[in-house]
Structure 1
Amino acid sequence: MTHSPRPAFSAAPEGAPGTMPEIVLARSVAPSDNSTSVVLPAAAGPQIRTGAVGVTTHADIVYATREDADGQDLPLRLDLLVPQTPGPKPLVVYLPGGGFVLARKEAAPERRTYVAEAGYAVASAEYRTVLNGATYRDAVADAKSAIRFLRAHGARYGLDTSKVAVWGESAGGYLASLVGTTRAVAGFETPNTPGPPDTPGFSGDVQAVINQFGLSDLLKFVADFDPEARQALLRPGTPAAAFVFGPATGLSLADDSEAVAAADPTRYVTARTPPFLHFHGSADNVVPPSQSLLLHTALLEHGVESTRYVLTGARHGDLSAMLGDPEAALPWSTEEVLGHITGFLAKHLGS
């Protein structure tokens, strides 16, 4: 499927029904170096199946309250899936994608259920986006608040919160990477919020990260595309630029390289960073595969466990809802891919 490049995103006013990011699809994508990665053939199935294990759903749990652009309370919610099996369940926090415009906690229901049925409590958390006037620091702070909330209420929901994994797709993968790399880094707890962090006394740290086709360097990803796509992505005031610089920005991503570098999870990698699992499609023309490679390489250079899978011919995750492309979802919901995810979780969280 090919599309002409367009303005990076368009969005209706906050709260408008049907708000949807408009996505630039590049005509060409530079290949990445896969010498340190595992290349998988086109994942054609079998697809995952759910229903073998009972799962309890706790919906619309408010984990924090912020202020919206009008100074009104903005509750942030999560949904929690807990398998109906004995004993406390290790926790996985899922961060949905949405181009910095959306953060629908209802995303990826089958994949989340499949992981829950494998023995994990899976929370899907919404976070603030550019429609709420948020920057990446705010969204990371929201994710950490969700983790602290779940640790504080672990006994109520039957959770084992001694080890927590964060799992994200696309923009959610980018934020998950920042959550994993910014342990004890000032400015990533509750910026722009008066008072102490939500649920003080509980940690927002994680012990494992799953990054599916997320960004890392928000400027370098543009360089991997054709000139038309680069021009569209470097317009002033795109949601990506607003997510870095703030909602009223007139800047493009090319106008302040230091601010863009500060938004790159590779900047914060240390030897204490938790292990990572990355996935990327070789034909991803929304977030080029070099983005996960940049982070994977930085992790390896610091001696951090990092595994990167490249799916031959796969595109950018589940675009079926956004672009009417159901085939784009299929490689990401196979037993093979989800098996790598549950295997990684078993290694680092137990089960």
Structure 2
Amino acid sequence: MAEPTAPRPEFTPAEGTPQVDLTFATSVAESDTGTSIVVDPAGEPQITLGARKVAERRDIVYATPRDADGNPIPLRLDLLVPDTDAPAPLVIYVPGGGFVISRKELAADTKTYVAEAGFAVASIEYRTIAQGTTFREAVADVQSALRHLRTHAEEYGIDVRRVALWGESAGGYLAALTGVLGGRSLSEPGTTDPEAAVQAVVDTFGASDLTRIAADFDPATRASYEGADNIAAMFVNGRSSGASLADAPDAAAEANPLNHLDSTPVLPGFLLLHGTADPVVSPSQTLLLHEALRTRGADTTRVVLVGAGHGDLAVLDDEEVGRPWSTRRTMDLIVDFLRRTLRG
């Protein structure tokens, strides 16, 4: 049983963000790696930047949806476009933040590394628990970003025939769910938009079945997810619903990417990555999705990083914990996957 790579910390959201119970496990059980690639990042060199010129555009408003009270929320994205001879394939980065925040400024170095490899990288905001919304609205925001970028492809210098989603933590969950939907809307049932479909998904330590998000953790952490006052229940049912995941099984099932794998005739390629010492999202979460994709004959690869925790725990400003995720070896696995799946 692995020990998390950082002590159990306190989570304090930004001012104005509602207080929620973001729990960190004190122990993490091993999950099966029989169908995964196991990588030991210890001692691996970190990425370096400067290989290619990259242009940046900031704070592009891509949509203005409303919060749970009906107030408009301008959602913005930042865009990195590499200096290339032809339009660059597009990677949309969906940041993590415990379903409470969505800071598009996260992961600056790793996004730049991907951009310097020849990909346009758009980093987006989306609605969260803080706006009183649920997973349905967050998915709709990712789909809106896809449509906006496709509409403005010529202006931005991107190739919309080759599009991937790349998310970390909560963003990995949203990338996976959006990817398997193939353009189908959850907020407007019965509606499908091909402009919201993608060819590839990179899911880095994201959840899949939120009812089992703490399955690998110590009893106290598992118990903390059984009620209504945790991030998973709030993101599925709404911040003020007072309902646990067990109270709303239909909503929990709808929020599970595994239940949407038949939504599209051709599933996108998947690269899933997880650390063995992740104290926030059980490592078996990416395994569940990986095995379900394999059963359907999808293009899926799962990479397990020995001793790695939950990214850089950006909400805690714990940069050291993030080092396994910014090694050249780890990032080149992502870049190589994007090259293969978006080669055109």
Q: TM-score, normalised by structure 2?
A: 0.92
Of 224, 227, 231 in structure 2, the residue corresponding to residue 235 of structure 1 is 227
Q: Does 1:299 align with 2:293?
A: yes
Correspondence list, 1:161-310, <5 A: 161-188=160-187, 203-270=195-262, 272-310=266-304
Greater Cα offset, 124-133 or 269-278: 269-278
CA distance in 1, matches of 2:301, 2:101: 28
Q: Deviations over 1:114-158 (max 9, x none)?
A: 000000000001000011111101101100110111001000011
Is the contact between residue 276 and residue 306 of structure 2 (CA under 8 Å) also seen in structure 1? yes
1:86 is matched by which residue type in structure 2?
D
Q: Which moved more, 1:121-130 or 1:215-224?
A: 215-224
| Equivalent residue number for residue 317 of structure 1 | 311
Deviation, structure 1 residue 57: 0.5
- Partner of residue 28, structure 1: 27
* CA pair 202-217 structure 1, distance change in 2 beyond 3 A: closer
Deviates more, 1:257-266 or 1:31-40: 257-266
Partner-residue secondary structure (3-state), 1:74: coil
Identity %: 50
Structure 2 counterpart of 1:345, which letter?
L
Contact 2:21–2:230 (Cα < 8 Å) also in 1: no
The aligned amino acid for 1:284 is D
- The 1-side partners of 2:167 and 2:233 are apart by 20
Q: Distance in 2 between matches of 1:115 and 1:252?
A: 38
Secondary structure class of the residue paired with 2:57: strand
Q: Tell me the amino acid that sits aligned with residue 220 of structure 2.
A: E
Could you say what secondary structure the match of 1:165 adopts? strand
SS of the aligned residue for 1:203 comes to helix
Q: Distance in 2 between matches of 1:158 and 1:2?
A: 41
Q: Give the CA deviation at 1:69.
A: 4.0
Q: CA RMSD of the aligned region, Å?
A: 2.3
Which letter maps to 2:249? S
Which amino acid letter does the alignment assign opposite residue 187 of structure 1? Answer: L
Give distance in 2, aligned partners of 1:162 and 1:184.
14
- Distance, in Å, in 1 between the alignment partners of 2:43 and 2:247 is 42
1:327 to 320, 324, 333: 320
Change in CA separation of 1:322 and 1:185 when aligned onto 2, cut-off 3 Å: closer
Aligned residue for 2:210, secondary structure, equals coil
| Secondary structure, counterpart of 2:64 in structure 1 | strand
User: Would the aligned equivalents of 2:90 and 2:122 in 1 still touch at CA under 8 Å?
Assistant: yes
- 8 Å CA contact retained: 2:41, 2:327: no
The aligned counterpart of 1:107 is 106
- CA-to-partner distance for each residue in 1:317-341, whole Å, 9 max, x for gaps? 112x433532211000011011011
Once residues 226 and 148 of structure 2 are traced to their aligned partners in structure 1, the CA distance between those partners, rounded to angstroms, is 37
Q: Residue 202 of structure 1: CA displacement?
A: 6.4
Residue 213 (structure 1) shift: 0.3
- Partner of 2:65, secondary structure, is strand
Distance 1:263 1:71 in 2: 23
Q: What SS is found at the alignment partner of 1:222?
A: coil
How far off its partner does 1:82 sit? Answer: 0.2
Q: 162-171 or 178-187: which moved more?
A: 178-187
1:3, CA displacement in angstroms?
A: 4.2
Q: Does 1:348 align with 2:333?
A: no
> For 1:213-265, what per-residue CA distance to the aligned partner results, in whole angstroms no more than 9, with x for missing partners?
00001111223211111222223232221110123211122323332122110
1:129 aligns with 2:128: yes
Question: In terms of mean alpha carbon deviation, does 215-224 or 288-297 score higher?
Answer: 215-224
Kindly provide the amino acid, as one letter, of the partner of residue 152 in structure 2: H
Separation in 1 of the partners of 2:169 and 2:246? 21
Instruction: Calculate the TM-score normalised by the size of structure 1.
Output: 0.90
Measured after TM superposition, the shift of residue 104 of structure 1 is 0.4
Cα displacement (A) at 1:70:
4.1
Question: CA contact under 8 A between 1:152 and 1:202: conserved in structure 2?
Answer: no
- State the one-letter code of the partner of 1:122: V
Q: Look up the equivalent residue of 2:292 and give its one-letter code.
A: A
Q: Deviations over 1:163-208 (max 9, x none)?
A: 10000000000000001111253425x68xxxx99xx976010000
Once the 2 structures are TM-superposed, how far is the Cα of residue 28 of structure 1 from its aligned partner? Answer: 1.5
Quickly say closer, same or farther: Cα 1:245–1:21, change in 2 above 3 A: closer
